[in-house]
Amino acid sequence: MRINLLPGLAVGVLLLAGCSSSNQLSAAGERVTFVDQQPGSQCQLLGNVTGSQSNWLSGSGGEGSSLRGAANDLRNRAAEMGGNVIYGATSPTQNLLSAFAPLDSKMSGQVYKCP
């Protein structure tokens, strides 16, 4: 008796691919902006935050799309903290392993609440 696993495997892969998604920007996250200059004294520093985009199931999807997902997550998290400005956003550089395996993309920055 021979069992054909290919159709079952294909369905499983499609189901897993359907579960993967990029981070969507929330309504509150849309009001958070990135700035290049450190906010002035009228702004309150709320803390540091890191956003990430999992690339394991979705594949790398290109560096731009994975960093966009990490930026969306960062903006959403900043909004949850009550912030509306992100200063000093950075993303760790890609390493040799990331060329072969779809690792998470991350972005971090300082969250401020400005009037």
Q: Tell me the pLDDT tens digit for each residue of 17-60.
A: 444 456 899 999 999 999 999 999 999 999 999 998 876 554 44
* 4 occurs within a structural domain: no
What confidence score (pLDDT) does residue 25 get?
93
| Cβ 89 vs Cβ 70: under 8 Å | no
pLDDT at 68: 87
In whole angstroms, give the CA distance from residue 98 to residue 101: 5
Check residue 15 and give its pLDDT. 38
pLDDT value, residue 10: 40
CA of 48: how far to CAs of 37, 88, 90, 110, in Å? 16, 10, 11, 4
pTM of the model as a whole: 0.69
pLDDT at residue 108 in the model: 94
Number of domains making up the chain: 1
Average pLDDT taken over every residue of the chain = 76
| 20 within domain boundaries | no
Note whether residue 11 is domain-resident: no
Range of the domain at 76: 27-94+103-113
User: pLDDT of 65-115, one tens digit each?
Assistant: 678 889 999 999 999 999 999 999 998 755 555 555 556 788 999 999 999
Confidence of residue 14 (pLDDT cuts 50, 70, 90): very low
Contact 26, 80 (CB under 8 A): no
Query: Would you say residue 64 lies in a domain?
Result: yes
Asked, for residue 74, whether it belongs to a domain, the answer is yes
